[in-house]
């Protein structure tokens, strides 16, 4: 979702773009967009060297997402893959690497995420293998900077706005199945990141931003979880149910389910996870003022505009 949108934007800006593609289908998608495709994988250093050769800048968007508390399923791609990209970039004498981080790396500090900014430490929470490995990857990226290689991290929140949004699709499936429950009635306020606003920040980071620094990038204004999910579900033609679970009860259920899944080695994630509870049981209010001051970042779409555009894209997809 993010990489494809970024390729299109960079081409519109007149840049020459090369995309790493793991499959023939992905390679065709890259080429149809007007970019050059290089077959490879972040776990294949030789393919990364081929991809980086002759390039001036690299944007690292690849990663594995999920809600499991286990680190192992994410470490190879999110950590080792990032290390491979940095090594290839250095060998190719790339001048700048822009890495897609994650705002949720603030989770695990054992305090409400409110009034936060880049001065807050990023964490390795025991309840999220994804968040832990994104934190480890970011540390690798920022530590790899040198006089010859500038490294910058852009940290979006929930990236949304296209039909390919798997998180929104999972929420829609839960609503259709009658399983959807809000935590604390969805009253907590959060930040979000429309895909085009995230792409705007990444594009700016290719030419701006202090090496060795991270930048948050969000939509304008905060929104309650219930309002945001309600708008997303409306774009999918659904109504968000009002059913709710108190945060302490949700936390206890998630902890118990995590233990069962670990002991029985069940595949996939439990219906309710500790990461899901952490993201929905308190505020997540973070400032992106640094990106506005140093990158010149401003959202290109309001949340209302993004929701209207998403509804139109989903309607066109369903009518096709």
For residue 300, what are its two tokens? 């290109």
- Is 224 within 8 Å of 188 (Cβ atoms)? yes
Give, as one character, the DSSP assignment of residue 35. Answer: P
Does residue 130 have an active-site annotation?
yes
Cα distances from 15 to residues 61, 86, 112, 127, 172, in angstroms, run: 17, 21, 41, 40, 37
- Is 152 within 8 Å of 99 (Cβ atoms)? yes
Cα–Cα dist 170/153, whole Å: 28
- Is 119 within 8 Å of 78 (Cβ atoms)? no
> Which residue in 291, 289, 97 sits closest to 206, CA to CA?
97
Cα–Cα dist 161/307, whole Å: 7
143-161: buried (b, 16+ CB within 10 Å) or exposed (e) per residue? ebbeeebbbbbbbbbbbbb
Give φ, ψ of 78 to 5 degrees: -70, -35
- Is 151 within 8 Å of 212 (Cβ atoms)? yes
Which one is catalytic: 127, 130, 261, 284? 130
Which residues are part of the catalytic machinery? 130
């Amino acid at each position: 979702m993010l990489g494809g949108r970024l390729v299109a934007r960079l081409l519109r800006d007149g840049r020459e773009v090369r995309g790493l593609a793991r499959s023939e289908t992905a390679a065709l998608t890259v080429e149809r967009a007007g970019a050059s495709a290089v077959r490879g994988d972040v776990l294949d250093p030789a393919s990364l060297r081929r991809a980086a050769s002759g390039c001036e800048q690299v944007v690292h968007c690849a990663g594995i997402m999920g809600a499991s508390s286990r680190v192992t399923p994410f470490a190879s791609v999110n950590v080792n893959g990032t290390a491979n990209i940095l090594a290839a970039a250095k060998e190719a004498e790339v001048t700048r690497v822009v890495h897609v981080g994650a705002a949720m790396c603030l989770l695990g500090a054992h305090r409400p995420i409110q009034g936060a900014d880049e001065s807050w430490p990023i964490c390795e929470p025991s309840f999220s293998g994804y968040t832990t490995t994104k934190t480890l990857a970011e540390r690798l990226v920022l530590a790899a900077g040198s006089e010859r290689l500038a490294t910058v991290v852009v940290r979006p929140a929930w990236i949304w706005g296209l039909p390919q949004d798997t998180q929104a699709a999972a929420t829609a499936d839960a609503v259709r199945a009658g399983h959807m429950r809000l935590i604390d009635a969805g009253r907590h306020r959060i930040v979000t990141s429309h895909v085009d606003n995230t792409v705007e920040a990444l594009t700016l980071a290719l030419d701006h931003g202090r090496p060795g620094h991270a930048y948050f990038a969000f939509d304008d204004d905060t929104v309650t979880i219930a309002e945001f999910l309600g708008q997303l579900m409306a774009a999918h033609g659904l109504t968000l149910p009002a059913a709710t679970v108190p945060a302490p009860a949700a936390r206890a259920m998630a902890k118990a389910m995590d233990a069962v899944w670990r002991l029985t080695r069940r595949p996939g994630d439990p219906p309710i996870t500790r990461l899901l509870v952490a993201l929905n049981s308190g505020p997540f209010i973070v400032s992106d003022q640094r990106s506005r001051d140093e990158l010149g970042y401003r959202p290109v779409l309001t949340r209302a505009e993004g929701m209207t555009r998403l509804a139109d894209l989903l309607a066109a997809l369903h009518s096709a």
